[in-house]
Every structure is written in structure tokens, then in C-alpha cells.
């Protein structure tokens, strides 16, 4: 019997029930939010030239990361007690392909799982005489630390067909362990589809494969007809599977499958596919081809983290598969009020992205609409509500607020209106975009933003838009105080 220990693609906690859609007004808001959020690492990318990243949840106080190396010749693992520490820790090669014969071709997308107090790595490998004869193989390790010596090759994972197979992962749900992977099925004119089966052991399937997704939508068949790189997330009474589609250039993107957590996961009818991709190339942030993701949780034990790879440029010379600069990246994963994941956009280089919620309406968020700042509940376009604190452009001790999805724009004050305007080299812009960040006027766990040019004035809200307030009482202080999330 396989112990239902959480595996590689970070199966998240038990279902908690979807939150109700919020009918919001400041006067009817919920109780104040807890203390400020855990801030993820400011490094982006986290690790350069590591595609197909697999970042585990903490195991015995350690995070472990593996992924494809540009040479496609080995399996590597690095470990650190923090996500940020993975950027600088030394990496160890735990397995290297043979000089010739079987598995001596391309080595792709290792997946690290902890099952029954042992480590397993599912990886794809070709042969020396045909590097694209890709099949899935398994390594096993008894040591507590997956960087240790002792990895043993256990052989090939057998499925229904001896065909192109890759991107395999394992997860547990309702006392059963499942195997999830991408494969080319004979008779179907695609490069790869997604399949699911129950496992008899970490090395073998117990049931026949069930096809749960075929690339048919326009955004799934750009360059190649691909569904691959699945990752599992169980939350809010549902099982979510993210996956990647299309060619590995800027057209690469992520889709989403959803099933009721109480349903039979091996029934294809249990799964529904989102009609549009959930995570795509973004020209404003200069992030191209995001995909092949995994999930983990931050050091606070509750902040969900999206892990993925992307490039910093669109144009590629030659086959994109051999361009080395698909870097490992991390960013916070948010949730809509209806219990579905909110991915936003792949953020560019810089510090943590944050959201602002009014102190007296913690379920609403500051967002920009037509470049004007307002306050709304359940913002569907996540990136419209994400900002970064950066150094101010004029006068010491000032901070500016950079828009995440329009990084050339910063929050400015124009009379009593706040907008995000393109940066200009002028004293007027420096004053209008400069703020003094102070502990929240209504609660020191939150923040308030004092205007640079007027020490008596603060950023506040009037229920629907951001404005300028001069606090004279408790109500004004609450309107000028914001939670970060």
C-alpha cells in the first residue's frame, strides 16, 4: 500500500469550500485582515537556465528543486531551507545518462516525488541512436536527502503504448495515488495528450490510462499540437490540473482542467477545460513562453506559490527547444472569490508584487481601470491590482509604486485623482509619484502612504476610487490605511 504522502507537483491541502461571491460596500465589510503577507523572494528569475522546474513543498525543513539543464544530459537536484536560498546553493548531479544506447539521448523534465518515505524521480529520456525516442523512466532513493548518493534506476514506466512519453508526475487524492503524464497515442493526430491512471506502486500502474485532455483549441496547437507538463492543485472542493500547450517559443502557454473533488477522476467526463489559456506571454512585462509549472508553498506555510519557466525575449535563433534561457521563476498564486485560481501575468524582474486592500474593506482591492486607480471586490484581472514598491525618483526617503502589468507606469497624484502614468524625467513627475510609506494610521500592521508634497495628506479611498484624504478622525484614518496581500 502506498502511503498518501504529498508528491512532487505539490498537492495542496484539503478542500475548504469555495468562498461566496462578495457583495461589497465599505460599511458592510468584513473584519480587518490579519497581519501583512509573507513576501516571496525578490529574485526573478530564481534560477537561470533551468527549464521545467519542479520545486517541492518543504520536506524536513528543506525545499528541493530540479529541472531540465540546457545540455539535456543529466538529472540535478539542489536544496535550501528557503525558496530564495535555492538561487545560490550548489547543485548536485544525481544521475547522468550513459555514454551510448538506451537513455543516452535527451534527458528532459525530471519530476521529484516523496512517496512512502522514499524519493522518486520520473524523467524522460531518448536513446543515443534516436534522441527523440522519449520514454519515461524512474529513479529511486532511500536517503532522507535527495541530493545524497544512492539513486537507483528502476526502469521504464510502462503505459498502454510504447510511444513518445514525458512529463510524468504523481499525486494523492482521497486515499488513492495517481500517475499523470503526457503521451502520443496511436491513431490520434497530436504530439501529446494528457493521461491519468491509478498507481499500484510508485513503479507501476494499477489501471488503464484515461485520456483527460487532447489539444484541440487554437491556443493549444500553435506550432505543435501539445498538452504536456501537468501539475496538480487540490483546493476549494475541486481538483485543478494546469498544463502547457503549443510550441516551446513565445506561443507556449498554460491551460487549466477542473474536476469536482468528489468525482471519479478516472472518468473523462469529470474534467472540464477552460476555453482560454490562464497564463500567457506578456509583452509589457517582457516575459515569453511561460509554462511547465509546478506548485509549492512559501515559508509561512500558507502562501501558495506558482513555479514556472519563461524567457526574457521573444526572438529565438534556431530551434527554441535548444535555446538555453528558459529560467525558473516564482510568484504568488492568488484565488478568486469563487474558489478558482488567479494566475495574473508572468511578472518581470523586480521585488515582490503586492496588492492593497482598504482597512475598512479587506475583501476589496486597489486596481487600475483605464489607468485610474479605484477600489473593487474580486478583481478578475489580477495584474491590474498588483504593484511593486520601488525607490522614489526625487527626494530621499521616498517610495514609488510601479504597476506590475505596465512596468513603465507609476502611481501619480493629480489633484485628488490617482493614476498610473508613464515615467517622465521631470521634477513634477518625481514629486507626483513620491510617497512616504509609514505604519498604518488605523493599525500599525498595515501601511499608509503620505504624499511627498503635503505631509498632512495621505492616499485614501471614498468607497469606489482612490483619492487624497487629510485625516481628522478615526474614520479618515481607516480610509487612509491599507492591508498588503
Q: Which of 193, 210, 157, 229 is nearest to 8 (CA)?
A: 229
Rounded Cα distance, 300 and 5, in Å = 20
Rounded Cα distance, 135 and 198, in Å = 19
| Buried-exposed string 272-289: b where 16+ CB fall within 10 A, e elsewhere | ebeeebbbbbbeebbbbb
Rounded Cα distance, 317 and 326, in Å = 14
Count other Cβ atoms within 10 Å, centred on residue 15. Answer: 17
CA–CA distance from 350 to each of 75, 387, 472, 484 (Å)?
A: 29, 11, 36, 17
Rounded Cα distance, 458 and 435, in Å = 9
Q: What are phi and psi of 86, to 5 degrees?
A: -65, -20
Q: What are phi and psi of 138, to 5 degrees?
A: -130, 135
3-state secondary structure of 388: strand
Cα-to-chain-centroid distance, residue 301: 16
Rounded Cα distance, 128 and 143, in Å = 30
Could you say which of 127, 220, 228, 360 is catalytic? 228
Hey, what's the cell of 293?
509549472
- DSSP label at residue 268: G
116 counts as catalytic: no
Strand arrangement of the beta sheet that strand 327-332 belongs to: 288-297, 304-311, 327-332
Rounded Cα distance, 446 and 357, in Å = 10
Rounded Cα distance, 156 and 270, in Å = 29
Rounded Cα distance, 107 and 20, in Å = 45
Rounded Cα distance, 10 and 59, in Å = 11
Count other Cβ atoms within 10 Å, centred on residue 321. Answer: 14
Could you say which of 52, 127, 249, 360 is catalytic? 52
Rounded Cα distance, 351 and 23, in Å = 32
Cβ neighbors of 137 (< 8 A, separation 6 or more) are 103, 122, 123, 124, 125, 153, 154, 155, 156, 157
129 counts as catalytic: no
Query: Sign of dihedral through CA atoms 287, 292, 297, 303?
Result: positive
Q: Which of 409, 432, 417 is nearest to 372 (CA)?
A: 417
Catalytic residue annotation: 52, 228
Amino acid at each position: 500500500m502506498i502511503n498518501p504522502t504529498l508528491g512532487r507537483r505539490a498537492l495542496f491541502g484539503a478542500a475548504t469550500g469555495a468562498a461566496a461571491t462578495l457583495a461589497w460596500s465599505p460599511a458592510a465589510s468584513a473584519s480587518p485582515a490579519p497581519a501583512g503577507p509573507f513576501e516571496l523572494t525578490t529574485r526573478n528569475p530564481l534560477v537561470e537556465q533551468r527549464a521545467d522546474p519542479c520545486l517541492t513543498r518543504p520536506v524536513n525543513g528543506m525545499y528541493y528543486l530540479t529541472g531540465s539543464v540546457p545540455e539535456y544530459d543529466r538529472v540535478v537536484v539542489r536544496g535550501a531551507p528557503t525558496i530564495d536560498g535555492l538561487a545560490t546553493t550548489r547543485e548536485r548531479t544525481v544521475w547522468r545518462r550513459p555514454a551510448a544506447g538506451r537513455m543516452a539521448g535527451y534527458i528532459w523534465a525530471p519530476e521529484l516525488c516523496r512517496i512512502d518515505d522514499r524519493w522518486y524521480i520520473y524523467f524522460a529520456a531518448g536513446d543515443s541512436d534516436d534522441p527523440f525516442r522519449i520514454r519515461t523512466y524512474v529513479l529511486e532513493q532511500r536517503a532522507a536527502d535527495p541530493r545524497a548518493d544512492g539513486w537507483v534506476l528502476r526502469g521504464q514506466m510502462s503505459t498502454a503504448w510504447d510511444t513518445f512519453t514525458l512529463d510524468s508526475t504523481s499525486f494523492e487524492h482521497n486515499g488513492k495515488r495517481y500517475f499523470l503524464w503526457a503521451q502520443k497515442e496511436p491513431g490520434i493526430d497530436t504530439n501529446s495528450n494528457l493521461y491519468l491512471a491509478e498507481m499500484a506502486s510508485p513503479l507501476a500502474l494499477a489501471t488503464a490510462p484515461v485520456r483527460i485532455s487532447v489539444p484541440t483549441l487554437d491556443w493549444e496547437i500553435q506550432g505543435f499540437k501539445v498538452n504536456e507538463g501537468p501539475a496538480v492543485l487540490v483546493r476549494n472542493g475541486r481538483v485543478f490540473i494546469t498544463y502547457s500547450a503549443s510550441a516551446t517559443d513565445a506561443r507556449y502557454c498554460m491551460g487549466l482542467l477542473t474536476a469536482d473533488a468528489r468525482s471519479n477522476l478516472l472518468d473523462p467526463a469529470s474534467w472540464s477545460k477552460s476555453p482560454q489559456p490562464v497564463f500567457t506571454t506578456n509583452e509589457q512585462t517582457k516575459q515569453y513562453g511561460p509554462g511547465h509549472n509546478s506548485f509549492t508553498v512559501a515559508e509561512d506555510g500558507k502562501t501558495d506559490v506558482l513555479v514556472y519557466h519563461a524567457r526574457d525575449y521573444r526572438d529565438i535563433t534556431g530551434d527554441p527547444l535548444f535555446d538555453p534561457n528558459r529560467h525558473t521563476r516564482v510568484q504568488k498564486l492568488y484565488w478568486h472569490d469563487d474558489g478558482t485560481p488567479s494566475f495574473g501575468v508572468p511578472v518581470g524582474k523586480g521585488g515582490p508584487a503586492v496588492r492593497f486592500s482598504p482597512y475598512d474593506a479587506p475583501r476589496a482591492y486597489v486596481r487600475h481601470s483605464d489607468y485610474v486607480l479605484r477600489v473593487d471586490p474580486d478583481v478578475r484581472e489580477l495584474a491590474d491590482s498588483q504593484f511593486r514598491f520601488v525607490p522614489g525618483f526625487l527626494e530621499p526617503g521616498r517610495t514609488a509604486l510601479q504597476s506590475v502589468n505596465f512596468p513603465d507606469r507609476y502611481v501619480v497624484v493629480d489633484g485628488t485623482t490617482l493614476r498610473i502614468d508613464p515615467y517622465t524625467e521631470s521634477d513634477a513627475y518625481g514629486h507626483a509619484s513620491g510617497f512616504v510609506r509609514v505604519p498604518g494610521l488605523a493599525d500599525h500592521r498595515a501601511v499608509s502612504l503620505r504624499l511627498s508634497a503635503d505631509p498632512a495628506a495621505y492616499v485614501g479611498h471614498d468607497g469606489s476610487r482612490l483619492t487624497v484624504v487629510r485625516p481628522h478622525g478615526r474614520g479618515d484614518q481607516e480610509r487612509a490605511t491599507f492591508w498588503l496581500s
